[in-house]
Structure 1
Amino acid sequence: MNKKLFIILLLVLILTLTACGKSDSGNVVKSDENMGEIVPSITILSSLPEANMVNYEMANEVAEELRKLGVDIKAEPIDFAVLIDRIYGDDEDYDAYTIGWSGRIERLDPDMFIHSINHSSNAKPGGNNTDRYRSDEFDAVADAQRQEMDVMKRRDLVFEAQEILGEDVPRITLYSRANVQAYNKDKYKGVINIPGEGLFNEWTPMFIEPKTNDKVLKVASNINLDSLNPMKAKSVYEWRNLRLIYDKLIRLSPEIEPQPWAATGWDVIDDTTVDVHLRKGMSFHDGKPVTVEDIKFTYESFIENEVEYFMSFLEPIDTIEITGENTVRFNLKNPYAPFITNTLTQIPILPKHIWENIEDPRNYDNSNPIGSGPFVFKNFRPGEELVAETNRDYFQDINIDGYIFQIFGSPEGVLTALELGSTDLLSFDLVPSHIEQLSNNEGGKFSHLEVTSVNDIGFFYLGMNLDRAPFNNKAFRIATAHLVDYDLALDVHLNGYGGRGGAGLVISPVNEFWHNPNAIKYDKYDPEKAREILKEAGFTWDKDGKLRMPLE
């Protein structure tokens, strides 16, 4: 009897060992049929190496770490315009991606990085919440901070919002980059360098002074332009040109103060009523006058066409009315603390006589943009250059005759153009190796160049589509945050010219007043910790070492 019992127990043990084993990754696993689905294959869309080498390298680094954990994953470099179309497109055909938010001057107010890119209302095709993050708790805080007019109380709410993001990990900030750029000091003076923007901002072309008879400023870019339609443009590269061709009611000064521009001023009647007074005598580039009708039409058109890129800033508007020959009144649904600095500084003034006849404004080609700004569009050759001439009827005197936005295929091509003097000023950051060449070149072939540096409030990140597995699993996102080598990005790929990343980092430490240093929850490279997090969350590994989702 004991012998039979022994045999039965032995058979049970053999069957148990057959059903359980160790995967290639060394994890004890159950039989495959008792496990969750295999983690879906992932593609990380990244920049082309010649456009952004750091994003390209970090996408591959994260892919390699996830591959070690049994995930079928690849990094796919694609053109920037294609990447923008994918993550903003209607079909939402993406798993993850590396990209960045530039530190444009308006973004020193935290509302862009808190509300616009994280609020659930923007988690739809065309919206800036391309990670599809949704949280009722976060939305309540994000809404409250923009309606709080007391700056210190608002700051507390912005801090709270950052802490929620740090816990939920809707995206993983990889690094920030110092704005190290250069210009030809033998040809120009009076260049303005703005935090978060660098040299090619909305002020430099208006105030730069030529030192020679060559008065056409040549600006270098390493990214092509995808659209000249203000209702369609989504990248900083397009807006750096559009905000010079089109005017805005208010512009933020280099000192980050709102300056009356197309408007001569404004009156805050109360927390939900603002009167804006239009400057007299302005004309569009086709000679038609700029009127309050154009202002009303512009804002209403952006709202009616649901231009998602700006809807976060336009949503607070209830109605717009003309109250005088040169006065427009904005009635808001609720108080909106950054209305002056965010909404009135970003919307380009459109000529009503042109746009009211366009059937589909959002998809209008706009191959010959007509604005009322300081520069008049002349022509655009995709992949080569955009040419603009100075608007001599503009109310602000401008010293140059125009500018040429030159589009290069690689950073090396730009470096050669800087050396030869065929380009005058950079619109993007130098790669680290070029910084060293230009900085250590006293009396050499780059001695005619001035290297500049300014802090950036923007950041580059790993975006994840939270509508898709496995990124709809919070534990998987947290684990992924532990697979990012933040020091590799900063110390090796950037040569120290920037800042560290981390999950929860959306307000840069450079933006000191609004930055919550306690919000960054996961900023250490620790693959073993990532494995532990996955195990605790119910992820398993099958006999082939493939990572499996938790059983539902």
Structure 2
Amino acid sequence: MPVIDSEEQDSDTTVNRRRILQALGTTTVAGLAGCSGTGSNGGNTAGSNDELGERVPTQTLAYWTGLGGTTATLETMAPVVQKNLQDRLGVDVEVQGRELTAVLGSAMGDKREYDMILGTNAPDPSRLDPTEVLGMYEAGRAGAGNPGNIANYADCSYTEFSQQQRTTIDEAERADLIHSAIQQFSEDVGVIAISPRVIAGAWHPDQVSVGGHDSGAGMDPLNPYVYYESEATDGDTVVSNANAVMVSTTNFPTVASPRIHIIWSHLINSPLVEYDDSLELRNVLAEEYTASEDGTTITVTLHDDATFHNGDPVTAEDVRFTYKLLWDNADAYPQVTAMPYESIEAVDETTVEFNMKNPTPVLFTKVWPRWGILHKESWKPAMENPAEFSLDTDNIIGSGPFQVDSFRQGQMIQLSPYGDHPVFNPKSRQVMQVFQGSESVFRAFQNGQISMILMQGMDTITRIRDEMENAKTHTQDSYLGAQIWPQHSYGATKFLKFRQAAGAVLDRQQMIAQAQYGEVDPSLYPTIFRGSHPSLPSEDQLYKHTDDPAGNEERGRQLLREAGWGWDNNGRLHYPPDADLTPLWPQGESPSPEEYPCLQ
């Protein structure tokens, strides 16, 4: 779906979207959770009840709570999923909302409390390199006692493609391996895709001229270009909303959320390279870099005019220190992936050499874009005690295009442009302020206390469109989105035909209309990545859930019927008579190397 700006809409056709939702008959989770309706099409049986296997038990669908607008979206989608599976496939579904950490802990510990999980992936720029996301579903992460695999998906072909791409230097060969992994995951219906995430924001044009948002990255706090290129039109300061985690500490590597890294690794500090507002990789502090033929030695030349905020030059030694601090303390820094390196050498003031044990293409595309280069003298104490370190908030020295004027932990941060940055030249001060909940953000924006708001739910954006004539809004699809993670290790969801059927019958059109106000197109291919992700293969390489965004009940039933599934006289789904209901591995254990040779 194209990017939508509010000024492009016809003001004569403005509609109160909440009335549309009322007309659609939006259902709440509370109204459906625990109900036990079943499909009524008793005529679509595979034969008499004596010819059927066991009845498919009630499926438990979990969704994440405590996440503001994200939870509101999931709460609205969950009853549609529940009703579709009950009415169209004859499967009872119980909906449960649980805190994110509880759901993830259960799935990744293979506790088997939930048969399906409804959730989303955040568009962290480091995920533009597919390695992190692909790695989440490798067989070695599935089962109990392993790093965790939310779907408990285990396939050796997929795992081998995912692992091989991490060390393949040739770009075309690596792309082929990535596409092969995604294709395998799609054919296995690793997830049941629903929709892209909506990236939405708004601004007061009499306060700010917004830039850096309309080429792909959107009005998202994870997009640093919206801060680089937005300029105050009234005064010299742009005020925006911030998530509390973004200003939770000065010791930002200790925080698990990627949201803190945009402020500290792109605004206050600059990385060697980063993804721009078109989602393309570009050099920042690195003027150039080259790799040896075997891909194990990477040489970086820094801009010779790059300086820290106190005037110190950004040197190769600062780069060396930054990555030794991160990689040598990966246990203390949850967002750090420890790289297999032999040494990092400061060849001269502006040349640094990374000597890796293996070819490591993700160094350029995933690792460097995440981490800003740190001021060695300021961060040296962190080497001794990384978890307890903190910066002097009155003297924060960074390498980025903004310097810190004021920092109030958990409340706000005020930044001013640093005029000597070698690449970026922002014009206005930026104040990021924490608000308690979306209603507080809306009221502050309505009252003119903040100039622009980023990554808001569609409820807030719709209220702005309905109630604030002079404000402008912007929405667009993300490269990640909402999906259902079926549990691949046991029960009905371990069967490919059941996953295919569930994906076929879902009414994505209704979910998007109710939860996302019709702002995005449905996701009809079972992949984690969405249309704008640079690693997504062409559609003809992928399995397709259905051609109908409203869902295709007959296709879902036919998939099951052809595989021997059937319905009793009450329309309730049963397994095939010869179905092997044994879990792929026992609960509390992990996939066996005998069954999965890639684990040997």
Residue in 2 that maps onto 1:7? none
1:268 aligns with 2:291: yes
Residue in 2 that maps onto 1:356? 383
1:480 aligns with 2:502: yes
CA distance in 2, matches of 1:310, 1:238: 13
Greater radius of gyration (CA): 1
Superposed, which structure 2 residues align to 1:181-330 within 5 Å?
181-189=201-209, 191-193=211-213, 194-198=215-219, 200=221, 201-213=223-235, 215=237, 217-220=238-241, 228=249, 230-243=252-265, 244-270=267-293, 271-278=295-302, 292-304=316-328, 305=330, 309-311=335-337, 315=339, 317=341, 319-330=343-354
Residues 356 and 297 of structure 1: CA distance in aligned 2, closer, same or farther (over 3 Å): same
Q: What is the CA deviation profile of residues 504-541 of structure 1, one whole-angstrom value per residue up to 9, with x for unaligned ones?
A: 23343334784321213213523454455456667677
Residue 145 (structure 1) shift: 4.0
CA distance in 2, matches of 1:322, 1:332: 15
- Report the residue type matching 1:195 in the other structure: G
Q: Partner of 1:182: helix, strand, or coil?
A: strand
Residue in 1 that maps onto 2:151? 131
CA distance in 2, matches of 1:59, 1:147: 39
Which of the residues 154, 177, 192 maps onto 1:172?
192
Kept after mapping to 2: 8 A contact 1:45/1:83: no
Taking structure 1 as the reference length, the TM-score comes to: 0.75
Which of the residues 418, 428, 434 maps onto 1:400?
428
Residue in 2 that maps onto 1:446? 469
Residue in 2 that maps onto 1:6? none
Residue in 1 that maps onto 2:9? none
CA distance in 2, matches of 1:128, 1:287: 45
Structure 1: segments with no counterpart, 5+ residues: 1-21
Residue in 1 that maps onto 2:511? 489
Which of the residues 376, 379, 404 maps onto 2:404?
376
Residue in 2 that maps onto 1:458? 480
Kept after mapping to 2: 8 A contact 1:375/1:402: no
CA distance in 2, matches of 1:195, 1:242: 22
1:54 aligns with 2:73: yes
CA distance in 2, matches of 1:92, 1:375: 47
Residue in 2 that maps onto 1:74? 94
**What percent identity do the matched residue pairs reach?**
19
Kept after mapping to 2: 8 A contact 1:102/1:457: no
Which of the residues 93, 99, 119 maps onto 2:119?
99
Residue 499 (structure 1) shift: 1.9
Q: Partner of 2:117: helix, strand, or coil?
A: strand
Q: What is the CA deviation profile of residues 155-195 of structure 1, one whole-angstrom value per residue up to 9, with x for unaligned ones?
A: 44333322211111121221014534222211122521141
Taking structure 2 as the reference length, the TM-score comes to: 0.70
Residue in 2 that maps onto 1:15? none
Which of the residues 444, 448, 465 maps onto 1:421?
448
CA distance in 2, matches of 1:126, 1:225: 29
Residue in 1 that maps onto 2:591? none
Q: How many residue pairs are counted as aligned between the two chains? A: 513
Residues 386 and 116 of structure 1: CA distance in aligned 2, closer, same or farther (over 3 Å): farther
Structure 2: segments with no counterpart, 5+ residues: 1-37, 583-600
State the superposition RMSD in angstroms: 4.4
Kept after mapping to 2: 8 A contact 1:116/1:129: no
Residue in 2 that maps onto 1:347? 371
Residues 462 and 108 of structure 1: CA distance in aligned 2, closer, same or farther (over 3 Å): same
CA distance in 1, matches of 2:481, 2:117: 14
Residues 335 and 404 of structure 1: CA distance in aligned 2, closer, same or farther (over 3 Å): same
Q: What is the CA deviation profile of residues 259-296 of structure 1, one whole-angstrom value per residue up to 9, with x for unaligned ones?
A: 43344432333333211245568787899986645534
